[in-house]
Amino acid sequence: MPSHTPSLHSAPDSNPPPTSLTHALPPSHTLPPPQYRHVLSPFAEYMVQTFVPLWMAPNLITLLGLIFPLISLGIFAWHSPHFKTEPPAWTFFFNAFALFAYQTLDNMDGKQARRTQSSNALGMVFDHGCDAINAGIGAINLLVVLGIVSSGEWDAFLVLSAFASPFVPFYVATWEEYYTGALVLPIINGPAEGVLMGVFISLVSGFLGPAW
């Protein structure tokens, strides 16, 4: 899934893109969406201030966030290796938790970087890299959560298509960020509402089964 500006832990004045167009963007276009500013960001700030020690590296928080979707993928692969069998209900609940944990930790890493004054360009690259990996993993997990399966010769095509589909908007958003110096997201976006929608769908599948 695409990453969002507040979670990046790159120094704001380090190595700006050579053709930065940030000055041409209206101020309102460079602000994070309101639901991030008023709900998700304060929650992540609270978690950092309350539970994260100063010695913890921001990149470690980023990596921990990626581990949860990977564990969920492994659980789904064990219970439904060919997308043919329905996993137990608890796997869907765990996927909901994994998605929310990923989103929260992804929001926390940048706050920890600013808290410890360890912002750098490597942190931004590492954050984007983990987000890129999770974009494909999340799409595959969603196939299981929604009970979407194919038959025979189309199995590989379905999985590859689901894995590749999130990378197009991710690439375009990152490309735009390189030239503008800001990652501009709409009010409704993947890192916020997209992940929360995945959490909701996972919970529904846990209660009702993926056939709903």
The pLDDT, as a whole number, for residue 25 is 52
Active site residue 38: no
212 CB burial (10 A radius; 0-12, 13-18, 19+): exposed
The pLDDT, as a whole number, for residue 154 is 59
Q: Which residues of the chain have pLDDT under 50?
A: 1-23
The pLDDT, as a whole number, for residue 11 is 43
DSSP states of 156-180: HHHHHHHHHTTHHHHHHHHHHHHHH
The pLDDT, as a whole number, for residue 152 is 55
The pLDDT, as a whole number, for residue 150 is 54
Q: How far apart are CA 48 and CA 76, in angstroms?
A: 30
The residues, any chain, with a CB within 8 Å of residue 69's CB and separated by 6 or more, are 98, 99, 102, 134, 137, 138, 141
